[in-house]
Amino acid sequence: MTLSSRLAAASAVLALGLSGCAASWAPQVNPVPYYTYYPASLGVVAAAAEKALPQAGMQFTGSKQVSPDTVEVHGYDSEGNAILITLRTKGAAVTKFSARIGLYGHLREVEEIEHWMGQYVGQAIARP
């Protein structure tokens, strides 16, 4: 075996070994944004988000009207991770919900918020 083929083989083994190490500790990032649609106006869904955060064990810190069709709801989870909920109107009675907690998403916590929001939106649209 020549020196160049030994170096190539050693480089390949080293690269494979390092890539395996990096994959074992790298955080899992959800490449697909988490969102859902609610059959309600932007105002109803924004009010539901404000109520849902405390019910999910999180802190609501405020909301902001970004544009006529977008509202951002802010808060923190129990670990101090920032929560950003973005609500966008998609029609008179359809609002898109998307949420992000911390740097990597925290899907389980987002699903907990969505559970409570679904209950509050359901109550609001069930009223006459």
For 96, the enclosing helix (H) or strand (E) is strand 94-101
Domains of the chain, first to last: 35-126 (3.30.310.80)
Question: What's the whole-number mean pLDDT along residues 117-126?
Answer: 91
What does the pLDDT look like over 21-47, one tens digit per residue? 333 333 444 445 578 899 999 999 999
pTM summary value: 0.72
C-beta neighbour count of 9 within 10 angstroms: 11
Distance CA 73, CA 35 (A): 14
Question: What's the whole-number mean pLDDT along residues 82-96?
Answer: 92
What is the pLDDT, as a whole number, of residue 60? 96
Cα–Cα distances in Å, from 128 out to 14, 31, 74, 123?
67, 40, 30, 10
